[in-house]
Amino acid sequence: MSSSSSSASPNWYPDPMGRHQLRYFDGTQWTDHVSSNGNQSVDPLRPGTVPLATQKADKHQKQLDRAGVVAGSVQGGGTIFTEPILVVNQKAKLIEINNEYAISDQNGRQIGAIREVGQSGLKKAVRVLTSFDQFMTHRLQIVDMTGAVQLTVTRPAKVFKSKFAIGDAQGAEVGKIVQKNMIGKIRFGFEADGQEIGSLNAENWRAWNFNVLDSGGTEIARITKTFEGLAKTLFTSADNYVIQLHRPLSNPLLSLVVASALSVDTALKQDQRGFN
């Protein structure tokens, strides 16, 4: 549901402002009533923020080259659901408190972003002072350039294996991404209605790159981590990825593939920069 929608029923929906987990929609307009982690409060409506790309054109092209992608060979529809090539760049920070990423198409035009929502002051302090946040709940919104929520990704608190709930723009669950193992090449299953409909598979034990398979074992997408530069590697937490979708997909598989690809750094590499 976009921030201007008037057709949805009164209910709690993902906060289109990106500051909280949920915001109440009264059937006509968004209200000031918000909720994060089950705690309700009041926060007046203000424009939401969209993390913006800072990647230069030459670096964008180098990312495509490293992933073996030829821009323009396949044309897309201009959205995160219709582009065959997506380039994900994490905002470089010395200390990462909020995960933020820009999403660009193969031509370097930004078409969306990923932002973390619903963090308490205590959680932010934990992220600054410790690495314990790897066990805590993480909530992401995948948004378009207007800030409208396209997908939500929630990883509940965990001890060992991770599980992610993927929701649509209204927050209704589309499916789950479930970690299957902890040793060797890490594998995640895509589940919908209790059935496994695909998988995300690390191609080596360090989990640099991933292939995405459908339920029949056919590769339908690839995720390639591209080197972010020595300075970024040593002094920041930023990671960059190129996602290639080999063919058009339908839901729920499309949403699960897009969500896993676009949240790979936070969702799959949260643990100690994830298996790196």
Instruction: Tell me how far apart the alpha carbons of residues 139 and 76 are, in angstroms, rounded to a whole number.
Output: 28
Based on the fold, state whether residues 208 and 118 are members of the same structural domain.
yes
Based on the fold, state whether residues 34 and 158 are members of the same structural domain.
no
Based on the fold, state whether residues 159 and 243 are members of the same structural domain.
yes
Based on the fold, state whether residues 42 and 80 are members of the same structural domain.
no
For residue 86, the model assigns a pLDDT of 94
Range of the domain at 25: 1-48
Burial of 271 per CB tally in 10 Å (0-12, 13-18, 19+):
middle
**In the block, which residue shows the tokens 């640099």?**
208
For residue 234, the model assigns a pLDDT of 39
For residue 141, the model assigns a pLDDT of 93
User: CATH number, domain at 241?
Assistant: 2.40.160.200
Task: Count how many domains the chain has.
Answer: 2
Based on the fold, state whether residues 252 and 168 are members of the same structural domain.
yes
Based on the fold, state whether residues 175 and 253 are members of the same structural domain.
yes
For the chain, 276 residues long, give each residue's pLDDT as a single digit of tens.
554 455 689 999 999 888 899 999 999 999 999 999 889 999 998 877 898 887 788 889 989 998 998 888 889 999 999 999 999 988 765 445 577 889 999 999 999 999 988 765 555 555 555 555 566 788 899 999 999 999 999 988 877 788 999 999 999 999 999 999 888 898 999 999 999 999 999 998 777 799 999 999 999 999 998 866 544 443 345 678 899 999 999 999 999 999 988 766 765 555 544 333
Based on the fold, state whether residues 1 and 121 are members of the same structural domain.
no
Based on the fold, state whether residues 141 and 195 are members of the same structural domain.
yes
Instruction: Tell me how far apart the alpha carbons of residues 159 and 182 are, in angstroms, rounded to a whole number.
Output: 12
pTM above 0.75, yes or no: yes
Based on the fold, state whether residues 65 and 182 are members of the same structural domain.
yes
Structure tokens at 159: 């001890």
Q: CA–CA distance from 163 to each of 31, 106, 127, 177, 260 (Å)?
A: 31, 30, 20, 6, 11
For residue 273, the model assigns a pLDDT of 41
Closest CA to 133 of 120, 124, 141, 142: 124
Based on the fold, state whether residues 43 and 104 are members of the same structural domain.
no
Based on the fold, state whether residues 38 and 72 are members of the same structural domain.
no
Burial of 29 per CB tally in 10 Å (0-12, 13-18, 19+):
exposed
For residue 58, the model assigns a pLDDT of 85
